[in-house]
Amino acid sequence: MKIIKRNGSEVDFDITKIIVAVSKANDAVGEQERMTPMQIQRIAQSVVLSCERLGRSPSVEEVQDMVEHQIMAHGAFEVAKAYITYRYTRTLVRQSNTTDDKILSLIECNNEEAKQENSNKNPVVNSTQRDYMAGEVSRDITNRILLPQEIVDAHNEGIIHFHDSDYFAQHMNNCALVNLEDMLQNGTVITGTLIERPHSFSTACNIATQIIAQVASNQYGGQSISLAHLAPFVNVSREKIRRDVKNEFETLGISPDSEVANKLIERRIREEVRRGVQTIQYQVVTLLTTNGQAPFVTVFMYLGEAKNEQEKQDLAMIIEEVLLQRHQGVKNEKGVWVTPAFPKLIYVLEEDNIHEDSPYYYLTKLAAKCTAKRLVPDYISEKKMKELKEGNCFPVMGCRSALSPWKDENGNYKFYGRFNQGVVTLNLVDIALSSGGNLEKFWKIFDERLELCYKALMCRHERLKGTLSDAAPILWQYGACARLKKGEPIDKLLVGGYSTISLGYAGLCECVRYMTGKSHTDPSATPFALEIMKYMNAACDRWKAETSIAFGIYGTPLESTTYKFAKCLQRRFGIIEGVTDKGYITNSYHVHVTEEIDAFEKLKFEAQFQALSTGGAISYVEVPNMQHNLEAVLQIIRYIYDNIMYAELNTKSDYCQRCGWDGEIQILEQDGKLVWTCPQCGNQDQDTMNVARRTCGYIGTQFWNQGRTQEIKERVLHL
């Protein structure tokens, strides 16, 4: 068999070159991620068979594609990353580009953009650097080879944002609702080890954290789990403890009455719940996934998911313990209790906990206390969600991405085990400015940009098509998302509405201001803002009808992109007051952060846009320190229940390690740059501060780029 080299010459095929190349990539990763020599030999042999089936001489690139595919089919993702790097290093040497310089700047921590790209990643840490380095190579491949040039150009110009392009070269999905119930009740497999149904609550919590870590390493977006899936194991432990107590009393020759025995049993079960919850909190905070950060996980707390009254009481016990421990916080390196970023918490407001005479109102009071100090939990209104989601209440994926209601072949709604394929965000401000304020031209450009987004979203869909379940066994074979067979493609999960794909949008506020001269909160401008939302929904409905893919409108949580879009707009259109005069543009449909508006009015206003953001959205109100005014917090919570599906309260939770300041770390302008500064001692060393701010639906703790920092600085209070 022959192979065609890059210069067009044909030479004999040499299988040893494949073995050597894969072995080098294998040697470049940690011992736990390495493949065996036998696996490498099988990869090489599989590639030879594939080449023989072609019936012609393959090119070097084709062979390398086959090798990459086979490595990922073996589940060796770290080796695949190393192989991608090895494969294209030679190409990068031959071609003139800036990727080499970017990688070197990452290693030396000179890349400011990368340092502030993610507020929960520490770019100094080796694991983060490795992820960023692989990301730069992957992004280069994506831009030069995998994406159409018009999409790359639109992304670079800030017309659209093709999210997570550093992961696009691999066949990875975005985010998911983990089917923890299936994995715990029916068992799962983690790195080749069978994990059977746990026999205690504490063991279930341990397994849950391992599942979280595995899922986080096999996708690039957030994940959510429900505490209701852990609740049945409380009673499993209770019965085990009951037997142990009985045996202990018999050994001691004591015959206690049932009331004494039950008190002892409940005391012990509460202690086990405390330990189990602590395991989840500390494991999540201290774990580092393959992308160099703690797992982006959301914990869902919904009493309505309990299957019986005993389970509901046990679930309430777990929720109470989660809130108590989060209110306490975690200790920083100085031993001071501070606010952690993860896990993100969502508390569902329902009839059983929203009124003062509700049986679980004590949990809502505890949630309010926790929110006032630690920024979480966030709140979902069961009543409002059921109005908008065909009578269902379910968690979002990560910080806000929401599934569309979907029924299985038996007509039952299903949410856990489903996922999102990816996001492309549309810059609404750019559409407005490109139209010059001409309404007819605005809608024409809007259509063109929507078509561009559709092409980009279909690239995401096509990239996932053909992915074998072997690429991420924890997701596709062992229950997190599915129970497919080995070697089975995931294609059937990509259509029919089982998974979603998201059309994001940003800058509705500035878009409307430019086109109408007024804020979208102005009654005369609000209809135009709603028309834009409906226009995007109509496009998604049209695409869904044409493709059988569940497209949804997504209120994008811009982090670094808010700065990128702002810079691109300024470069293309200059400084326009009220539109491009900031280092950021407004997230999704939100009221501008500088606009004076009452908390209740803001929630009521944004609720109408949230209802149209079918693929996910979240609203917030900015509040001062409310730890001594919990009744006001509860008043807002009750208002959320009656008026909006998903909302949160933003406050501050900071600490200066230099002087012990336990208050708000301020943002000062110094030599044209915004600098975080302790108001008590003047400390400006970010390594000796603990700052927690809601970035865009989740808490950030590693600081932000200048655009997002300006946005945080300019937020006005709504209460």
Q: What average pLDDT does range 189-216 have in this prediction?
A: 95
**Could you give the residue ranges of the DSSP H alpha helices within 578-689?**
599-610, 630-643
Name the active-site residue from 305, 320, 559, 711: 559
Name the active-site residue from 301, 370, 399, 540: 399
Q: What DSSP string describes 528-585?
A: HHHHHHHHHHHHHHHHHHHH--EEEEEE---SSHHHHHHHHHHHHH---TTTTSSSS-
Asked whether the predicted pLDDT for residue 689 surpasses 70, the reply is yes
Which residue shows structure tokens 């949630």? 367
* Non-local CB neighbours of 523 within 8 Å, separated by 6+ positions: none
User: What is the per-residue pLDDT across 252-285, written as a single tens digit (0 to 9) for each?
Assistant: 888 877 888 999 999 999 999 999 999 999 888 8
| pLDDT at residue 578, as a whole number | 94
Contact 433, 591 (CB under 8 A): no
* Non-local CB neighbours of 688 within 8 Å, separated by 6+ positions: 656, 657, 658
pLDDT band at 10 (very low <50, low <70, confident <90, very high): low
The percent of residues in the chain predicted with pLDDT above 70, rounded, is 92
Q: What average pLDDT does range 404-433 have in this prediction?
A: 97
Helix, coil or strand: residue 650: strand
Token readout for 141 is: 């491949």
* Non-local CB neighbours of 344 within 8 Å, separated by 6+ positions: 222, 296, 297, 298, 299, 376, 378, 398, 399, 698, 699
User: What is the per-residue pLDDT across 45-77, written as a single tens digit (0 to 9) for each?
Assistant: 999 998 887 655 677 877 888 899 899 888 888
The residue type of 582 is K
pLDDT band at 89 (very low <50, low <70, confident <90, very high): low
Q: Is the dihedral of CA 382, 385, 387, 393 positive or negative?
A: negative
- Gap between the terminal Cα atoms of the chain: 74
| pLDDT at residue 665, as a whole number | 94
Task: Give the 3-state secondary structure of 25-49.
Answer: HHHCCCHHHCCCHHHHHHHHHHHHH
- For the chain, residues classed under CATH 3.20.70.20 are 421-471+485-645
Contact 114, 163 (CB under 8 A): no
Q: What average pLDDT does range 619-639 have in this prediction?
A: 96
Which residue shows structure tokens 């659209």? 160
Tell me if residue 559 is catalytic. yes
* Non-local CB neighbours of 465 within 8 Å, separated by 6+ positions: 489, 491, 494
Name the active-site residue from 175, 205, 453, 511: 175
Name the active-site residue from 401, 434, 560, 683: 401
Residue 297, beta-bridge partner list: 223
| pLDDT at residue 124, as a whole number | 61
Tell me if residue 659 is catalytic. no
User: What is the per-residue pLDDT across 95-131, written as a single tens digit (0 to 9) for each?
Assistant: 545 556 655 655 555 454 554 455 455 556 666 667 7
| pLDDT at residue 85, as a whole number | 79
Residue 345, beta-bridge partner list: 299
Phi, psi of 339 (to 5 degrees): -90, 120
Helix, coil or strand: residue 210: helix
Q: What is the largest CA-CA distance in the chain?
A: 90
Helix (H) or strand (E) holding 619: strand 619-622
What is the rounded CA–CA span in Å between residue 602 and residue 621?
7
Tell me if residue 613 is catalytic. no
| pLDDT at residue 112, as a whole number | 47
User: What is the per-residue pLDDT across 459-503, written as a single tens digit (0 to 9) for each?
Assistant: 999 999 999 999 999 999 999 999 999 999 999 999 999 999 999
Q: What DSSP string describes 72-124?
A: HHTT-HHHHHHHHHHHHHHHHHHS--SHHHHHHHHHTT--HHHHTS-TT--TT
Question: Which residues in 188-335 belong to E strands, given as ranges?
Answer: 188-190, 193-195, 223-226, 297-301, 330-331
* Non-local CB neighbours of 378 within 8 Å, separated by 6+ positions: 344, 345, 346, 347, 618, 646, 647, 648
| pLDDT at residue 32, as a whole number | 85
Tell me if residue 554 is catalytic. yes
| pLDDT at residue 134, as a whole number | 74
Tell me if residue 186 is catalytic. no
Token readout for 61 is: 């690139």
Mean pLDDT check: name the lowest of 13-22, 153-162, 230-239, 533-542.
Answer: 13-22
User: What is the per-residue pLDDT across 571-592, written as a single tens digit (0 to 9) for each?
Assistant: 889 889 999 999 899 999 999 9
Token readout for 521 is: 């909160």
Alpha-carbon distances of 525 from 346, 433, 514, rounded to whole Å: 33, 17, 11
Which residue shows structure tokens 């943002």? 667
| pLDDT at residue 230, as a whole number | 98
Name the active-site residue from 75, 398, 616, 697: 697
Alpha-carbon distances of 297 from 222, 262, 415, rounded to whole Å: 6, 35, 16
| pLDDT at residue 379, as a whole number | 98
What is the rounded CA–CA span in Å between residue 48 and residue 118?
41
| pLDDT at residue 139, as a whole number | 85
The residue type of 198 is P
pLDDT band at 11 (very low <50, low <70, confident <90, very high): confident
| pLDDT at residue 591, as a whole number | 98
Contact 644, 619 (CB under 8 A): yes
Helix, coil or strand: residue 485: coil
Asked whether the predicted pLDDT for residue 431 surpasses 70, the reply is yes
pLDDT band at 637 (very low <50, low <70, confident <90, very high): very high
Helix (H) or strand (E) holding 378: strand 378-381
Q: What average pLDDT does range 517-526 have in this prediction?
A: 98
Helix, coil or strand: residue 675: strand
**Could you give the residue ranges of the DSSP H alpha helices within 359-414?**
361-374, 382-388
CA 275 from centre of chain: 26
Helix (H) or strand (E) holding 475: helix 473-476
What is the rounded CA–CA span in Å between residue 185 and residue 208?
12
pLDDT band at 1 (very low <50, low <70, confident <90, very high): confident
Mean pLDDT check: name the lowest of 579-593, 610-624, 633-647, 704-718.
Answer: 704-718
The architecture CATH gives domain 421-471+485-645: Alpha-Beta Barrel (3.20)
Helix, coil or strand: residue 437: coil
pLDDT band at 444 (very low <50, low <70, confident <90, very high): very high
What is the rounded CA–CA span in Å between residue 9 and residue 2?
10
Name the active-site residue from 138, 420, 435, 683: 420
Tell me if residue 664 is catalytic. no
Contact 151, 455 (CB under 8 A): yes
Name the active-site residue from 111, 173, 174, 613: 174
Q: Full-prediction pTM beyond 0.85?
A: no
Q: Which long-range contacts (CB under 8 A, 24 or more apart) does 436-442 make?
A: 437/514, 437/515, 439/515, 442/515
Name the active-site residue from 317, 397, 568, 678: 397
What is the rounded CA–CA span in Å between residue 425 and residue 595?
24
Name the active-site residue from 220, 360, 416, 554: 554
Phi, psi of 193 (to 5 degrees): -110, 125
Provide the pairing of β-strand 673-677 with 666-670.
antiparallel
Q: What DSSP string describes 155-207?
A: HHTTSEEETTGGGTTS-----EE--HHHHHHH-EEETTEEEPPPSSHHHHHHH
What is the rounded CA–CA span in Å between residue 290 and residue 220?
10
Tell me if residue 174 is catalytic. yes
Phi, psi of 592 (to 5 degrees): -55, 140
| pLDDT at residue 96, as a whole number | 47
| pLDDT at residue 287, as a whole number | 76
